[in-house]
Amino acid sequence: MARYLELSMDIFRYKKDIRKKIESFKPGTTIGFVPTMGALHKGHLSLIECSVKQDDVTIVSIFVNPAQFNDKNDFKNYPKTLDTDLKVLSNAKCDIVFVPSENEMYDKPDHRIFDFGNLGKVMEGKYRPGHFSGVAKIVTRLFDVINPHKAYFGLKDFQQFAIIKKLTEDLKLPVNIIPCPTVRENDGLAMSSRNSLLSAEERKHAALIYSTLFQAKKDSRKYTVGNIKKNVSNTLNEDPYITVEYFEIVNASNLAPVQSWNEPSVKVGCIAAKVGNVRLIDNINFNS
């Protein structure tokens, strides 16, 4: 760790060490936690900023969690920029970084099976089997180590947010799950670590995802839910670089598909699309 001595924060690799540090805090110290997979961007930083404002101590974890990848190549190719991430975190006034190895996080086999009902069966749950179970395994393990008062999650991963909320309610975990709005590039593309995997040409085309969602929101008074869904998929699939995996308009509270704009629910349009070989997700709230 010597080369990180100039950074103004503590960096831990082992659970026992970070626990010891946390146990040394004065009683009443509030802990805000931001779990990440690294390759940090302004979306992550917005979560960290919220925690720095609201909590006495901000802890960020960086761990690319193999259990949540259903595609080995996706895991292998996931961007890793640890040295830059640590500098960024130090500048962002993060207090503590937890960077465990796979052995450290999964020292004992984890055979738990999670049931999120409908929340886990649709969209990402359907197209990435086992993904949310992997997310639940790592998030509960990290919560167990850190015992945060608050944990910050981005609404860019809308379904993940709903799942984490349910998980903490079902398990009665004493942590407040705080939603944070999606941070976008100037052309509307949702910031994502995976954006760095796009070629320059793919990157230009990727902006069509959000502009199409935005147009769908504007058009939602004029067309039925079914027609909006078709329009979004057709517009994006006409682009030679983009292939839509799914576009669903769902009830925000249970992720059930919405049939009509007249239903009394908050409606969110969620999309997964490949731009070249890079799989991106995004969403738009039709009510806000």
Least distance from ligand AMP to the Cβ atom of residue 40, Å? 8
Least distance from ligand AMP to the Cβ atom of residue 144, Å? 18
State which H helix or E strand residue 142 sits in: helix 131-146
28: left (phi over 0), alpha (psi -120 to 50) or beta: left
Stretches 74-82, 102-110, 150-158, 260-268: which one binds ligand AMP (CB under 6 A)? 150-158
Stretches 43-51, 73-81, 125-133, 166-174: which one binds ligand AMP (CB under 6 A)? 43-51
Q: Are 41 and 137 in contact (CB under 8 A)?
A: no
226: left (phi over 0), alpha (psi -120 to 50) or beta: alpha
Distance CA 42, CA 44 (A): 5
Q: Are 247 and 257 in contact (CB under 8 A)?
A: no
Residue type at 62?
Answer: I
Letters for 151-190 (x = contact with ligand AMP by CB under 6 A, - = none) are --xx-xx----------------------x-xx------x
- Residue whose tokens read 């890079």: 278
In sequence order, what are the residues at sequence separation of 6 or more whose Cβ sits closer than 8 angstroms to the Cβ of residue 151? 32, 33, 34, 35, 139, 143, 164, 175, 176, 177, 178
Least distance from ligand AMP to the Cβ atom of residue 5, Å? 26
Q: Are 95 and 58 in contact (CB under 8 A)?
A: yes
Q: Contact between 68 and ligand AMP (CB under 6 A)?
A: no
Least distance from ligand AMP to the Cβ atom of residue 63, Å? 9
Choose, by CB under 6 A, the member of 22, 50, 142, 191 that binds ligand AMP: 191
Least distance from ligand AMP to the Cβ atom of residue 24, Å? 27
Backbone φ, ψ for residue 246 (5° rounding): -155, 150
Whether 44 sits among the annotated catalytic residues: the reply is yes
Choose, by CB under 6 A, the member of 11, 18, 43, 146 that binds ligand AMP: 43
Letters for 193-232 (x = contact with ligand AMP by CB under 6 A, - = none) are x---------------------------------------
- Judged by beta carbon, residue 228 or residue 269, the one nearer ligand AMP is 269
Choosing from 41, 44, 131, 205, which is the catalytic residue? 44
Q: Contact between 192 and ligand AMP (CB under 6 A)?
A: yes
Distance CA 105, CA 15 (A): 8
Point out which residues bind ligand AMP (CB under 6 A). Answer: 36-37, 43-44, 46-47, 153-154, 156-157, 180, 182-183, 190-193
Residues involved in catalysis: 44
